[in-house]
Amino acid sequence: MFEQLQVEHSLFYIDQDHMNRFKNLAAKWQSIFPDVCAKCLNNVDAWANVLNNWVFLKSQQTDELILNPSKAIYYSINTFLLDELQKIQIIQKVKECENDDFQYFAAFHLGNAIDLWVYDTLEKSAESDLLKPQNRIPYYLAFLNDDFQTDNALFHKNQTRAIKILAQVIRSQNCFRITVSSAVNRAVDMYDHYVTK
């Protein structure tokens, strides 16, 4: 499925070279990571989560990888979660690491873990209708639709509803930080097993 990703799936300013690097990594490690967890999104968008996590982790190394401000406004749930990731010390260490392979391992595990955490958190909330299958339309390319730009679009309302729940859980519990740390630790273990053994 990662082959279907386009530059437009990125929330960051990237070019085709960045996309090709990511796809080469995905192909290289496909036997270890055959497919992503897709509880909240369709499969292509779940791969886009991994892509965006990888670019986010690489953004420490270069000034050119910055969040696209027009997308940041509309994909507010992603911006919120990236801001929360930025506050976690183990993520800072991964961002400082200049190793494409390890950052891919970390991005993959983060993509799966955060998707599952968001799903579980929303499922337990009063807003579990956000998880209904009809809400799993293409997500990262939604900005290409004409009605996406309107403030009253269901897309934006759903983002706002989800952020309220996720923010409340993050502020009152430690589960997001634990989820993220566990994902990075799994990435370290797998990297040590498959690459540095």
Predicted confidence at residue 186, as pLDDT, reads 97
pLDDT class for 133, splitting at 50, 70, 90?
Answer: low
CB 177 within 8 A of CB 171: no
- CA–CA distance, 182 with 19 (Å, rounded to integer): 27
- 112-130 mean pLDDT: 93
DSSP state of 68: -
The boundaries of the domain holding residue 32 are 2-194
- 61-85 mean pLDDT: 87
Predicted confidence at residue 62, as pLDDT, reads 67
Predicted confidence at residue 106, as pLDDT, reads 98
Question: What does the pLDDT look like over 164-179, one tens digit per residue?
Answer: 999 999 999 999 999 9
Question: Is the per-residue pLDDT at 147 higher than 70?
Answer: no
What are the tokens at 167?
């923010």
The predicted model scores a pTM of: 0.93
- Count of domains for the chain: 1
Question: Is the per-residue pLDDT at 63 higher than 70?
Answer: no
